[in-house]
Amino acid sequence: MSEASPAIQVQNLRKIYGDKAAVDGLTFTVPRGCFFGFLGPNGAGKTTTIKMLMGLAPPTSGSIQLLGLPMPDRALDIKQLIGLVPDESLLFDHLTGGEFIEFVGRIYGLDRSVARERALELMELFELEGNQRKLIAEYSKGMRKRVAMAAALIHRPQLYLMDEPFEGVDAVGARLMKEILLEQVRHGATIFLTSHVLEVVERLCDRVAIINEGKLVQEGSMAELRGASDTLEDAFVRAVGVGRGTETLDWL
C-alpha cells in the first residue's frame, strides 16, 4: 500500500443491470485527506457506485483502487482499512447500541476489552449513553444513524464510505456527526459521502462530483463547481438539468 496513492481511484467503472447501465463509465479520483461529496439526483447511480466501492456489488467492468489496493483482489485488506455507513440499516435490531459497536470492533480485530472500552466511549461521544440498555429495535432513525457512524469509527479507519449518513438525523445530531467527521479529516482520514442535503455537502466537502444517469457530469473543488452560481444547489440543478419544470397537473 503506497501512502502516495489516492484514497479512491475509479477507472471507467460500469455496472449493468439487465439492459440498463446503472453506472456508465465512471472515472474519478479522491485524494487522501479529502472530504469528498458524491452527488446526483435519485436513481443517478450513487448507491450502486458506493456498493461497488464497498465490495457489495461486483462491477461489470472497470477498476477500483482503494488506498492503493485493487478491489476486489485485496478485498479483505481493504475492508480492514475502511469504515462504512451504508444507506440501508446495518444494525442488528436485537443487540444494544453498545453491543453492536463492540461487535464491529471485534470483527475488525480489536481485542475484546479494547472494543468494549471504545464502544462505551463512542456511545458517550454520540450522546447515546442514556440508551445503554435499550435494544437497537427501539432506537429512532437518528439514533440508529449515530450508532452506525460510531461503529464505523471504532477501528480508526483511513477511509470512510458513507451513503446518506445524515438522513433522518436531527439538527443537534447532525452537527455532532459533522464535527466528528471534520475532526477525522483533520487527522488525515478521507471521507467519501453521498447526501441529498446540499447545504451539508457545501459546508463540509472540499471536492464534489455530480453524476446523472450513471455518468459523471461534473467534478472539482467546491469553488470550481459553484463557478458563477450562488450556491451548490444552483450548480447541481444546472448540471443535472431541470426535468418537469414548474408546471403542475391541471387537476391538481
Q: Which positions ≥6 away from 185 have C-beta within 8 Å? A: 33, 34, 35, 191
The 10 Å Cβ neighbour count of residue 222 is 18
- Does 92 contact another protein by CB under 8 A? yes
Quick one: which of 250, 16, 244, 55 has its CA closest to 161? 55
- Does 43 contact another protein by CB under 8 A? no
Q: Which one, 133 or 244, has the nearer CB to another protein?
A: 133
- Does 54 contact another protein by CB under 8 A? yes
**Binding segment (CB under 8 A) for another protein, from list 87-95, 163-171, 188-196, 211-219:** 87-95
- DSSP reduced 3-state for 88: coil
Please give the single-letter amino acid code of residue 25.
G
- Does 33 contact another protein by CB under 8 A? no
Site for another protein in 105-134 (CB under 8 A): 106-109, 112, 133-134
Q: How far is the CB of 79 from another protein (least distance, A)?
A: 4
Number of residues that bind another protein (CB under 8 A): 34
- What pairs with residue 96 in β-bridges? 135
Report the C-alpha gap between 196 and 164 in whole angstroms: 7
Query: Phi and psi of 83, rounded to 5°?
Result: -115, 140
Please pick, from the candidates 44, 104, 191, 232, the single residue that binds another protein as defined by CB under 8 A: 104
Report the C-alpha gap between 152 and 156 in whole angstroms: 8
Q: How far is the CB of 167 from another protein (least distance, A)?
A: 15
Residues that bind another protein (CB under 8 A): 51, 54-58, 76-77, 79-80, 84, 86, 88-96, 99, 102-104, 106-109, 112, 133-135, 137
